[in-house]
Amino acid sequence: MSSAASLPQPAGLRAWLLSPEPTSRWQARLGRAYLGWRTFTKNPLAVFGLGIVLLLLLVALFANFLAPYSPVTGGDLRTARLLPPSAAHWFGTDDQARDIYSRVIYGSRITLWVVLLVSVIATPIGLLIGTVSGYLGGWVDTVLMRLTDIFLAFPRLVLALAFVAALGPGIENAIIAIAITSWPPYARIARAETLMIRNSDFIAAVKLQGASTPRIIFGHVVPLCVSSLIVRVTLDMAGIILTAAGLGFLGLGAQPPMPEWGAMVATGRNYLIDQWWVAAMPGLAIFVVSLGFNLLGDGLRDVLDPKAAK
């Protein structure tokens, strides 16, 4: 360490990022992000996970170019049904003579859509309930937390099943059902963070300046809870994908002919013994994608929430 001063100082962008005396807020923020990135890339599994997630994004974006066939209309039912994997059909074809590879490619859009919508719906609900409950305390806290506990008490898939049963099967209802079952852990985390923030000096200072309660909650408490929630949501994404696929498998998620991976596995179940690829390929896609989200979430936790990593 003592010889650090005599070493040649790194120049350029890296030096600017790692500067111990940032001259602007932007420089400080970018520097923090760079340090986080360095920690993140030290974990090869996390980088692998990020790779999978990026691949999913790209595949979903360019599905039109990547898929050689249509995902919903099949080929000739007399000759192209249930073909094994070959050069023409990489993952084989299903009972409707559709190319499974193309269906898996297009299915990535549905998966991504589900994950995105569930997190967009569930995170704000959890954040709102958690911060309000933690900041106000008292009977509001008691009521909101008991409500959270009740939702936590249900096993997730079973509650989602009951909701979809009531709302009717379909991708939108599956998304709503999963979102309804996803927010309680977020509320718990946001509350725990808020309890720590509530008594800090800067909140007291803002209060003395006459800030209203909503202003304190939304302007000062919420932004500080976001980073730990992002970690939790990323870690949860694999669970969201698995629940959505489970609902799809039971015929309660996306309806045919949508190429939803869980529903595709359910179709393959009828041809399991002789045409294994119909069930195996979409299931493998679910596995790889949720593995990617799990690895990415683990890596993000190490960067954003070093305490939890131990």
Partner 1 sequence: MTGATLTQSGGHHALRFFLLRTLQFIAVLATTLLGLVAVTFFIGRIVPIDPVIAIVGDRAPPHVYARVRQELGLDLPMIQQFWIYLKKAISGDFGNSVLTTNPVMTDIINVFPATLELATLGTIIGCLVGIPLGVLAAVKRGSLVDQFVRVLGLVGYSVPIFWLGLMALLLFYAKLGWVEGPGRLDVTYSYMYTPVTGIVLIDTLMQGQMDAFWNAVSHIILPTCLLGYFSLAYISRMTRSFMLNELAQEYVIAARVKGLSEIKVIWRHALRNAAVPLVTVIALSYAHLLEGSVLTETIFAWPGLGQYITNSLQNADMNAVLGGTLVIGTAFVILNLLSDLLYRLLDPRTR
CA 148-228-240 angle, to 5 degrees, is 60
Pick 31 or 283: Cβ nearer partner 1: 283
Q: Is 147 in the site for partner 1 (CB under 8 A)?
A: yes
What is 189-249 written as a DSSP string?
Answer: HHHHHHHHHHTSHHHHHHHHTT--HHHHIIIIIHHHHHHHHHHHHHHHHHHHHHHHHHHHH
Please tell me the distance from the alpha carbon of residue 50 to that of residue 45, in angstroms, as a whole number: 9
Q: Looking at 9-17, 207-215, 218-226, 288-296, which segment touches partner 1 (CB under 8 A)?
A: 288-296
Q: Residue 50: name the closest of 40, 39, 60, 59 by CA.
A: 40
Residues 6+ apart with CB under 8 A from 203: 197, 216, 220, 221
Q: How far is the CB of 246 from partner 1 (least distance, A)?
A: 6
- Write out the binding residues for partner 1, residues 247-266 only, by CB under 8 A: 249-252, 262, 265
Amino acid at 238: A
- Record the tokens describing residue 108, joined without a space: 């990535």
| Residue 140 found at the interface with partner 1 (CB under 8 A) | no
Contact call for residue 277 and partner 1 (CB under 8 A): no
What is the amino acid identity at position 129?
I
Cβ count near 8 (within 10 Å)? 5
Least Å distance, CB 208 to partner 1, is: 38
The region of 7-15, 35-43, 187-195, 274-282 touching partner 1 under the rule CB under 8 A is 274-282
84 touches partner 1 (CB under 8 A): no
149-188 residues in contact with partner 1 (CB under 8 A) are 149-151, 153-159, 161-163, 165-168
Give the footprint of partner 1 on this chain (CB under 8 A). Answer: 146-147, 149-151, 153-159, 161-163, 165-168, 238, 242, 245-246, 249-252, 262, 265, 268-269, 272-273, 276, 279-280, 283-284, 286-287, 290-291, 294-295
